[in-house]
Amino acid sequence: MSFRARLAANILLRGGVVSLPTDTIQGLSCLPSSDSLQRLIELKHRASNKGLILISNDISHFENFVENPQLLTKVEVGNKPTTYLLNAASNIPILLTGGMKTIAIRLTDNPLIADLCNSTNSALVSTSANVSGFPVAQTSLKLRVYFNDQLDFIISPNAQKNAPSHIVNLETGEEIR
């Protein structure tokens, strides 16, 4: 694991918010604790009823967040990043679901995400690296314009697809995007 990934993992474990390239777009991430989630929502000026995505390389990281962990056997890493909606467990922070009955999860083979999830033994909360209503930051400069010095760490954006994931409701089979 790179020095930057180790540093980011330590910051996440201390409740920090980091920006990093994901399998889709440049994201903002934290661990799924109430304090970190609140800070992330405030940084983005995001409505608390929108919900957030959990990402990980390890399906077991999602087990405590979903109502029916057996459905996780249907979650897979495909050719196109796919976010799955499942009924949420009743005891998770409301900021993760935005008060909805479902939670969004994405299994990824992204090496950086894998390093961070393995180091923290947790899924990561992920959302686009922008202030709500503005385009996603695709450069470190744009991240600094949006967030000034409020992010705890930035792993610079790389040349990536910058396309959102496919979304499937795993409970109903409905393809949303």
Q: What is the pLDDT of residues 78-90, one digit of tens each?
A: 888 999 999 999 9
User: Identity (one letter) of the amino acid at 53?
Assistant: I
Q: What pLDDT, in 10s, does the model give residues 33-88?
A: 989 999 999 999 999 999 999 999 999 999 999 999 999 999 988 888 999 999 99
Q: pLDDT band for 162, please (50, 70, 90 cuts).
A: low
Q: Is the pLDDT of residue 177 over 90?
A: no
Q: What is the pTM of this model?
A: 0.93
Instruction: Identify the residue with better confidence: 160 or 168.
Output: 168
Give mean pLDDT, residues 8-26.
95
Q: What pLDDT, in 10s, does the model give residues 92-137?
A: 999 999 999 999 999 999 999 999 999 999 999 999 999 999 999 9
Q: pLDDT band for 165, please (50, 70, 90 cuts).
A: confident
Q: Please list, residue by residue across 129-156, b when 16 or more beta carbons sit within 10 angstroms of its beta carbon and e when fewer do.
A: bbeeeeebbbeeebbeebbeeebbbbbe
Domain range summary for the chain, segments of one domain joined by +: 3-169
What is the CATH code for 3-169? 3.90.870.10
pLDDT reported for residue 160: 60
Select from 25, 23, 24, 167 the least CA-distant residue to 109. Answer: 23
